[in-house]
Amino acid sequence: MGKRITIDPITRIEGHLRIEVEVEGGKVVNAWSSGTLFRGIEVILQGRDPRDAHHFVQRSCGVCTYVHALASVRAVDDAVGIKMPVNARLIRNLLHGAQYQHDHIVHFYHLHALDWVDIVSALKADPAKTAALADNTSNAPWGGRQYFKNVQVRLQTFVDSGQLGPFANAYWGHSAYKLPPEANLMAAAHYIEALRIQAKAARLHAIFGGKNPHPQSLVVGGVTSVADLVPDRIAEFLYITKETHDFVKNVYIPDLLAVASFYKEWGGIGGCTNFLTYGDFPASEQEPESFYMPRGVIRKRDLANIEMADQQKVTEDVTRAWYLKSAPKHPFEGETRPIPENPKFSPEKGKYSWAKAPRYDGLPCEVGPLARVLVAYGKGHADIKPLVDGALKQLDIPASALFSTLGRTAARGLETVAIGEVMQGWVTELVENLKSGDTKTYQPYEMPQTAQGVGLNDVPRGALGHWIRIENGKIGNYQYVVPSTWNLGPRDGGGNLSPVEEALIGTPVADPQKPLEVLRTVHSFDPCLACAIHVIDPHSNEVYKIRVV
Amino acid sequence: MEKEKEFYARIEAKGVSRRDFMKFCTFLTATMGLSAAYVSKVAQVFAAPSQRPPVIWLHFAECTGCSEATLRAMFPWIDELLLEVLSMEYHETIMAAAGRQAEEQLHAAVEKYKGKFICVCEGAVATKYDGGYGKIGGRTFLEIAKEVCPQAAAVVCIGQCSAFGGIQAAAPNLGGWKGVGEVLGIKTINIAGCPPNPINFVGTIVNYLLFGKLPAVDDLGRPLFAYGKTVHDQCPRRSHFENEEFVEEFGSPEAAMGYCLYKVGCRGPETYNNCPIAKFNDGTSWPVEAGHPCLGCSEPQFWDKMTPFYEPL
């Protein structure tokens, strides 16, 4: 039995996550992932108006804002039978693309970078050498000795104040930090710049969505932002998406590759076996054929035989989660209930998480940027393949290194480039369509008494599915299976580990008191726990009445 | 004065002119309902804090949307808020430390700044099953709230969840979720909204830094400078309401003309907030401008009391 390490709270994520690992001989030999908060949004949806669902589910997460609302209106659109107007499809795509641009920048710089970048070491950097390094690696619009000196003085002033705020008591000086002081200073400067870029990028949602977080312009049947389909608004959107894209191309990707070049061994750590993506960004009504990011399943890392994904093969298992006993079920048939008591953390053989264990055809699957990029790469995607090949060549690593913590983090950046590029085309398409005289943004409909629908999308953190059953014109049953449940759930009844649990095994840990390396792999999944945990509909509400209410 | 000069030199180096900065301060001063005489004092708050006021930010049952909203602050920029204005001693979404080291940091900050820190709470607290539906580091939100909040100089609840219980408190409220003030039996400042506009949070903090006290509030704990009037009373579409010009279907010619959204469910008449004036994301827009009815998200229990959203009041 090795040494047990608990990290709780895992910080720099959304939500409440506990990771426990067992370390033997300097490596992780076993791992448990536990979500420690249960809110129960699906139960709250029971009996409500189906048109309201997207507002509720959007509050699953304020980091991955918009995406649940989109999946939800798609599910109800599907149940109702909406033929989506072209303008509405484009605006929904643009808002979704904006979420990728925003979210991936924040993840890389603010949630993940400090696992690789030692801020304290940046204080020792030579600003002139940093300027030279920045000149060689990036096309950032800021630079020069004076710029980096100013950043350093600012950080030094902050440190000298004795109030270290968010940088207090971290793993600075840890032996696993490999960047020279100059690279640390460059990254620290861009960490600060990225704080501003993300605030600007969020305006993209405000333009066609009224605000961010939680934009408010989606409705079942289309979008409401008709008054914003005017030249100055569209130009503003185009300008900000291009500015954000410039940052991604000129700063984010160069930083990503520069940092990765010091951590190439992470191309052999933290990989998973199976991958699932629903794909997204429809170019027409043909789904999934017209998706910009394709749908697919990869088994056993076999990129040569990518299968089409079928949502009917999705089940959730609650054997090791804090719910009352139930066999694994497809979301339409779900009937799980939370245990009506203070849950005990029993990782050995018992229950240990509020997250459930989703499985595809019985298999745990990694979802997210790596799954999307691998499926696109395997299918020879015209934009993704050259981006991936270029990065592999620059880092001088083989394609097999993609199955790793490094691959996951790199895939996130690379897809942001592809999506940022294609978004500009959608803006042109929107303009052309409006010019042609088509101003339709909404399809009126009658809410059926009985119907069911599925809303699938692939969001920054991975494959997301919402399933709704409408009964008597109200929500009879509503369920969603989300990316962080796929990636960070517990074991299933068959003892299969979840992707993060699998990925952690073999991770080196130099100092069990400071498990920095564990954080690297956990953060590479971009965990987002608030939406990972919820409950599937109990068909008999009686159980609640007796046990809970 | 020297520090102020340095400050202007610094923001100018970043491409923010002194004029832009003063423009923001004027906007913020007006949002806070202060006279123009306060503009220069508001500017000083950002220019030369003697010691950065410590903030301990606790996350309970929430979606992090309120933290994200705060990250969108543009004047002052969020990096300035973090590095030069406030001292964010604990904030799980951005802090570098994790696990044991994070917990140590929380305890050390509470100890060091006892009675002096601002405690910002995001998210609701579970009360059923000994608070078992929400935990951090093996301790329930309930235990953490009981330990930390009473030691603060002030408790600021950001968002609907910490203020009033939020979405998890909607029926049937499985975990017995409640707002922080109700759970602890204390008065909290409630920056209502789902999420609130960061300007209302910043305005509240500036008020505290400027006058050494929190702003005047209504009977729900909401600062009057932001939540003193209804959305309806400040709505640019109000004249359409008076003229009985209504949108009755989304996508209609009336929707394109920007008519009143009352008949498709707008909750503006019963909702106290400054959205139409302050707008979101650097004044870019707000829901009604995007053609969508107001949900009433700054009112207690709006998930139950304001739904179904698309039926008229």
User: What are the pLDDT digits (tens) for A501-531?
Assistant: 999 999 999 999 999 999 999 999 999 887 6
For the segment A160-180, the average pLDDT, to the nearest whole number, is: 95
Of A56, A207, A354, the CB nearest to B285: A207
Residue A538 has pLDDT above 90, yes or no: no
Q: What is the pLDDT of residue A539?
A: 33
What are the pLDDT digits (tens) for A309-330? Answer: 999 999 999 999 999 988 998 9
- Report, as residue numbers or ranges, the catalytic residues of A: 14, 61, 64, 68, 461, 484, 528, 531
Q: In degrees rounded to 5, what are phi and psi of residue A50?
A: -55, -25
What are the pLDDT digits (tens) for A206-243? Answer: 999 999 999 999 999 999 999 999 999 999 999 999 99
Check if the beta carbon of residue A10 is closer than 8 Å to that of residue A527.
yes
How many Å lie between the alpha carbon of B220 and the closest alpha carbon of chain A? 22
Q: What is the pLDDT of residue A163?
A: 92
How many Å lie between the alpha carbon of A545 and the closest alpha carbon of chain B? 9
| Side-chain half-sphere exposure of A361, counting CA atoms within 13 A | 10
What are the pLDDT digits (tens) for B254-299? Answer: 999 999 999 999 999 999 999 999 999 999 999 999 999 999 999 9
For the segment A427-433, the average pLDDT, to the nearest whole number, is: 98
Facing residues of B61 across strands? B124
- pLDDT band at residue A336 under the 50/70/90 scheme: low
For the segment A428-438, the average pLDDT, to the nearest whole number, is: 97
DSSP H stretches of helix in B154-291: 160-164, 180-184, 198-211, 224-227, 231-234, 238-242, 253-256, 275-278
Q: Are the Cβ atoms of B71 and A158 closer than 8 angstroms?
A: no
Q: How far apart are CA A155 and CA B292, in angstroms?
A: 43
What are the pLDDT digits (tens) for A175-188? Answer: 999 999 999 999 99
Q: Are the Cβ atoms of A199 and B71 closer than 8 angstroms?
A: yes
DSSP H stretches of helix in chain B: 2-13, 18-31, 39-47, 65-71, 78-80, 99-112, 141-148, 160-164, 180-184, 198-211, 224-227, 231-234, 238-242, 253-256, 275-278, 302-305
With residue A502 as reference, give the H or E element that holds it: helix A499-504
Higher pLDDT, B51 or A174: A174
Check if the beta carbon of residue A490 is closer than 8 Å to that of residue A32.
yes
Facing residues of A19 across strands? A7, A33
Contact residues on chain A for B13, CB-CB shorter than 8 A = 150
Using the 8-state DSSP alphabet, how is residue B153 labeled? S
Three-state secondary structure along A292-349? CECCEEECCCCCCCCECCCHHHEEEECCCECECCCCCECHHHCCCCECCCCCCCCCCC
With residue A410 as reference, give the H or E element that holds it: helix A405-435
Say which residue the tokens 């109000």 belong to. B238
Task: Identify the CA nearest to A330 among candidates A346, A345, A310.
Answer: A310
Higher pLDDT, B74 or A468: A468
Tokens of B148: 């930390």
Tokens of A70: 């989109």
Q: How far apart are CA A523 and CA A332, in angstroms?
A: 31
Higher pLDDT, A535 or B99: B99
Q: What is the pLDDT of residue A36?
A: 87
Check if the beta carbon of residue A454 is closer than 8 Å to that of residue A281.
no
Q: What is the pLDDT of residue B1?
A: 46
What is the widest separation between alpha-carbon atoms in chain B? 62
Q: Mutate which of B50, B60, B135 to disrupt the A interface (most A C-beta within 10 Å)?
A: B135
Using the 8-state DSSP alphabet, how is residue B246 labeled? B
Q: Are the Cβ atoms of A8 and B99 closer than 8 angstroms?
A: yes
- pLDDT band at residue A549 under the 50/70/90 scheme: very low
Q: Is B196 on the interface with A (CB under 8 A)?
A: no
Interface of B with A in 125-144 (CB under 8 A): 128-138, 140
Say which residue the tokens 């508001």 belong to. B42
For the segment A88-117, the average pLDDT, to the nearest whole number, is: 98
Residue of B nearest to A229 (CA): B256
Tell me the percentage of chain A whose pLDDT exceeds 90.
89
Q: In degrees rounded to 5, what are phi and psi of residue A367?
A: -125, 165
Q: Are the Cβ atoms of B287 and A43 closer than 8 angstroms?
A: no
Using the 8-state DSSP alphabet, how is residue B42 labeled? H
Task: Identify the CA nearest to B70 among candidates B212, B225, B203, B227.
Answer: B203
Q: What is the pLDDT of residue A537?
A: 31
Q: Mutate which of B68, B81, B105, B254 to disrupt the A interface (most A C-beta within 10 Å)?
A: B68
How many Å lie between the alpha carbon of B167 and the closest alpha carbon of chain A? 7
Q: Which amino acid is at B97?
A: A
Indicate the average pLDDT of chain B.
91
Q: Are the Cβ atoms of A199 and B13 closer than 8 angstroms?
A: no
- pLDDT band at residue A158 under the 50/70/90 scheme: very high
Tell me the count of A-B CB pairs closer than 8 A: 310
Q: How far apart are CA A53 and CA A66, in angstroms?
A: 13
Q: Which amino acid is at A177?
A: Y
Q: How far is CA A199 from CA A202, A213, A244, B70, B223, in A?
A: 5, 11, 10, 9, 25
Residue B219 has pLDDT above 70, yes or no: yes
Q: Which of A449-458, B49-58, B105-114 has the lowest mean pLDDT?
A: B49-58
For the segment B5-28, the average pLDDT, to the nearest whole number, is: 67
Residue A546 has pLDDT above 70, yes or no: no
For the segment A2-23, the average pLDDT, to the nearest whole number, is: 91
Q: Which amino acid is at A189?
A: A
Facing residues of B285 across strands? B280
Q: What is the pLDDT of residue B209?
A: 83
Indicate the average pLDDT of chain A.
93
- pLDDT band at residue A532 under the 50/70/90 scheme: low
Check if the beta carbon of residue A355 is closer than 8 Å to that of residue A489.
yes
Residue A535 has pLDDT above 50, yes or no: no
Residue A1 has pLDDT above 70, yes or no: no
How many Å lie between the alpha carbon of B211 and the closest alpha carbon of chain A? 23
Q: Mutate which of B55, B174, B197 to disrupt the A interface (most A C-beta within 10 Å)?
A: B174
Q: Is B48 on the interface with A (CB under 8 A)?
A: no
Residue A430 has pLDDT above 50, yes or no: yes
Q: Is B101 on the interface with A (CB under 8 A)?
A: yes
Q: Is B9 on the interface with A (CB under 8 A)?
A: no
Q: A47: phi > 0 → left, psi -120 to 50 → alpha, else beta; which? A: left
Tell me the percentage of chain A whose pLDDT exceeds 70.
96
Q: Are the Cβ atoms of B308 and A216 closer than 8 angstroms?
A: no
Q: What is the pLDDT of residue B7?
A: 61
Contact residues on chain A for B110, CB-CB shorter than 8 A = none
Contact residues on chain B for A119, CB-CB shorter than 8 A = 96
- pLDDT band at residue B46 under the 50/70/90 scheme: low
Q: What is the pLDDT of residue B16?
A: 61
Contact residues on chain A for B133, CB-CB shorter than 8 A = 37-39, 338, 354
